[in-house]
Each structure stands twice: as C-alpha cells, then as structure tokens.
Amino acid sequence: MTSPLQQKIKITGPSIVTANRTWDGAVIYRTDAKSWSDELTDAAIVRTADEARALLTEAVADDLNAIGPYIAPVEVEADGAVKPGNMREHIRLTGATIALPAQA
C-alpha cells in the first residue's frame, strides 16, 4: 500500500489529522502538543498543504500509538468552534447515528 505521505496532499479548507488508537481502536485527533486526544476540540488545525503534510508526517511517525492517520476536513465556526467536515467524520466523532441494540 502507498504510504499516506506518498499521496498528493490537497486541502480545500481547515483540516485536521485523525487516526484510530492502537490498543482499543478509538478515534483520536492529532494535537498541537505532538500528542493525541479523543476530543476534536483539541485537534491541531491546519490550513495549507504544507502544514497538513507536516502534521501528517508527525502522526505517521507515531506508529506505536495510532493506526492509519489521515487528513480530514473540519468546519470552523465564527466563534471558533470546530465541527467535522463530512458525515463520515461526524459519525466517527459522535458515534453511530442509530441507537445501539443493548442500549435501553
């Protein structure tokens, strides 16, 4: 498989780097502090392809803690609040859109 770093990076707006945590698979976001958080609000936001590449490079290097890092779009609202940029990322952040069977 081609490494994410070999792919051409093109971003159309504010973006973040996200992955799944190795030990449990949970969704995580790359932070400014060269670490990971499970809160989107902690994610480092990049706005140019160069920034995105740098953040992704850092994330990919952390193979021990994160699986499959990639760049994903976000929306930044006027008050600075960050929201997922598409349905897939919305579902990764907030969970399945359906009630899980064993929930009351």
Q: Interface with other proteins by CB under 8 A: which residues?
A: 1, 20, 22-27, 63-64, 67-68, 86-88, 91-92, 95-98, 100-102
Measured CA to CA, the distance from residue 63 to residue 97 in angstroms comes to 30
Backbone angles phi, psi at 46, to 5 degrees: -115, 150
Q: How far is the CB of 83 from other proteins (least distance, A)?
A: 14
**Between 5 and 50, CB nearer to other proteins:** 5
Q: How far is the CB of 38 from other proteins (least distance, A)?
A: 11
Q: How far is the CB of 5 from other proteins (least distance, A)?
A: 13
The single residue listed with the structure tokens 């590449």 is 53
Tell me the two tokens of residue 40.
Answer: 């989107």
Q: How far is the CB of 86 from other proteins (least distance, A)?
A: 6
Measured CA to CA, the distance from residue 39 to residue 54 in angstroms comes to 21
**Between 32 and 63, CB nearer to other proteins:** 63
Q: How are strands ordered across the β-sheet holding 36-37?
A: 36-37, 27-30, 15-21, 66-76, 82-84
**Between 60 and 76, CB nearer to other proteins:** 60
**Between 5 and 26, CB nearer to other proteins:** 26
| Of the candidates 67, 12, 8, 76, the residue with the CA atom closest to the CA atom of residue 43 | 76
